[in-house]
Amino acid sequence: MSIRVGESASAPSFQQAALALLDDTQLRRNVRHATDVITRKRGLVVGEQADWQALRDAGSAIKRHTLRHLDEYLLQFEQAFTAAGGHVHWATDADEANRIIVGLVKQHGGKEVIKIKTMTSDEIGLNPALEAAGIHPHETDLADMIVQLGADKPSHIVVPALHKNRQQVREIFARAMNLPDLGDRPEDLTAAARRYLREKFLKVKIGVSGANFLIAETGGVCIVESEGNGRMCLTLPEVLVAVAGIEKVIPRFADLEVMLQLLPRSATGERMNPYNSIWTGVHEGDGPREFHLVLLDNGRTKVLANPEARETLHCIRCGACLNTCPVYRQTGGHAYGSIYAGPIGAILTPQLHGMQHSQSLPYASSLCGACYEVCPVKINIPEVLVHLRGKIVEEQSANVESVAMKAMAMVFRSPRRFEAAQRLGRIGQWPFISGGWIRNLPGMLGNWTAVRDLKPMPQQSFREWWKQREKSNG
């Protein structure tokens, strides 16, 4: 089995990566600006939606129900999709999915494909697989183009180039499209992308996409987008190959009435994004004449098997948790070493991957709860983070931290030992006190005193004060 989540297996720990990124003032400014704008917009359109909490409840319940009957809904989807002229493929892992997709493209003699933004394809590393087979993938989503042309990595699940500002995008486009006089207004940049891609849209015969929702009842697929590149890729080519995680299925067509209210408001802070396409299989005279869909596991069934964390699979990839996360807002997405960044990435990546990788991710959170509050399908991310921390602790061998934590638990288990430890602490701290303050601690605790002073332990604990008072009160 080769479960892969982008290149996260070889990524440095969150702490290491964050350290470097915190020094990139330009990146931090870009991330801050973009997340400020989007959280403000989201706040407005969520605030005006009077039934928002009821929609969240419905969205969460639909997802929970679907996962519980996932085999049935996938089979129902497969049957309806096939009856409508589509072909379903099943893939247990990244390599298998890539083999299927590369095989389909080759079978149709394709040397290039046009791609709609799909995080799933980044997850499985589809682009390198296509390139290795001599097939050139053209990313057509503006942000994906910025990342592809700049040989960069995505830093956000909805806006992968969120870490770049207009001047930086201008540099990338000017070089890659050979447009030395390109301006840096967003309008200039979108116009350049339009000209650059128009000919590809009309010429390339094979499209590759992801899917936002698969509809079991009808065999339909729903794709949510803004630019129209999605509509181009899924209607102009002769062959369309889509790849989707098995958790993307929803039971009924009408369930979209919930999802299509939750997703745009959460993702881009819009009442509705410019385009949603919903279609079923192959339509005579309208769109591709061949439609393949690859259903991907790649670790998802492992997540599904864990009752404490399976709600991770509710995710509809809106990115609201990234935008609101105070940690993400400091570091941006690259620190997470995964194409799935931010709070959702911190729970999804290690679970898909196995806990031996990405061990630092469940700790990349202050557990402030902002992610849970904004999640449109009510994934309790802090709770899953804590659960994953528990698994890491369970699987690790003894180390300084675990010994200290266990010793402290021992102390807390007895009020007598606790009191003794308080007394001992007061004595033990004196070598670190200077001028009435603790300013420099050794080891891991040095991370505290790097930027913060610490008041020494007072001479009398609360319980000592209490006991003294009781005594004097007789």
Partner 1 sequence: MAETRELMLARIREAIAVQHGPELPLPRDYERQGSLSAEARVETLLDRLREYDAQIYEASSENVATTVTNLCRQRQVKSLVVPEGFPAEWLPAFGGMIPEGELDRKPLSEIEAVLTTCTVAIAHTGSLVLRHGPGEGTRRLTLLPDLHICIVREEQVVETVPEAFDALREYVTAPITFISGPSATADIEMTRIRGVHGPRYLDVVLVRG
Partner 2 sequence: MQITLFITCYNDTLFPETGISVVRLLERLGHEVVFPLAQTCCGQMHYNTGYQQEALPLMRQFVETFRNAETICIPSSSCVAMIRDHYPKMAEASGDAALAEEVAALLPRVFELTELLTDKLGLEDVGAYYPHRVTYHASCHSLRGLQLGDRPLRLLRKVRGIDLVELANIDQCCGFGGTFAVKNGEVSAAMLAEKMRCVENTGAEICTAVDNSCLMHIFGGLHRQRTGIRTVHLAEILASDGSGA
CA neighbours closer than 13 Å in the CB half-sphere of residue 375: 25
Q: Which does 174 bind (CB under 5 to 8 A by kind): partner 2, partner 1, none?
A: none
Q: Which residues bind partner 2 (CB under 8 A)?
A: 14-15, 18-19, 22, 326-327, 330-331, 362-370, 372-373, 383, 386, 388-394, 402, 405-406, 408-409, 411-415, 418, 422, 425, 437, 439, 444-445, 447-448, 450-455, 457-458, 460-467
CA neighbours closer than 13 Å in the CB half-sphere of residue 250: 26
- Of the pair 251, 369, the CB lying nearest partner 1 is at 251
The tokens describing 64, both together, are: 């929970």
If one asks whether residue 405 binds partner 1 (CB under 8 A), the answer comes out as no
Phi, psi of 123 (to 5 degrees): -60, -45
- Of the pair 273, 461, the CB lying nearest partner 1 is at 273
If one asks whether residue 432 binds partner 1 (CB under 8 A), the answer comes out as no
Q: Which does 106 bind (CB under 5 to 8 A by kind): partner 1, partner 2, none?
A: none
- Of the pair 26, 447, the CB lying nearest partner 1 is at 26
Q: Least Å distance between CB 405 and partner 2?
A: 5
Instruction: Name the β-bridge partners of 364.
Output: none
- Of the pair 131, 257, the CB lying nearest partner 1 is at 257
Q: Which does 327 bind (CB under 5 to 8 A by kind): partner 1, partner 2, none?
A: partner 2
If one asks whether residue 406 binds partner 1 (CB under 8 A), the answer comes out as no
CA distance 199 to 189: 17
Q: Which does 123 bind (CB under 5 to 8 A by kind): partner 1, partner 2, none?
A: none
Q: Least Å distance between CB 317 and partner 1?
A: 15
If one asks whether residue 95 binds partner 1 (CB under 8 A), the answer comes out as no
- Of the pair 50, 409, the CB lying nearest partner 2 is at 409
Q: How many residues does the chain have?
A: 474
**Cβ-Cβ contacts under 8 Å for 193 (sequence gap 6 or more):** 142, 145, 173
The tokens describing 3, both together, are: 């479960």
Q: Which does 187 bind (CB under 5 to 8 A by kind): partner 1, partner 2, none?
A: partner 1
Q: Is the dihedral of CA 367, 43, 156, 351 positive or negative?
A: positive
Q: Give residues 63-92 in contact with partner 1 (rule: CB under 8 A).
A: 65, 67-71, 74-75, 84, 89-92
The tokens describing 319, both together, are: 């990115």
If one asks whether residue 179 binds partner 1 (CB under 8 A), the answer comes out as no
Q: Which does 181 bind (CB under 5 to 8 A by kind): partner 2, partner 1, none?
A: none
Amino acid identity of residue 229, one-letter, is N
List, as one string, the DSSP characters of 6-57. TTGGGPPPHHHHHHHHTT-HHHHHHHHHHHHHHHHHHHHHHHT-TTHHHHHH
| Segment lying near partner 1 (by CB under 8 A), choices 193-201, 387-395, 416-424, 446-454 | 193-201
Amino acid identity of residue 311, one-letter, is E
Residue 235 to residues 104, 204, 282, 340, Cα–Cα distance (Å): 18, 12, 10, 28
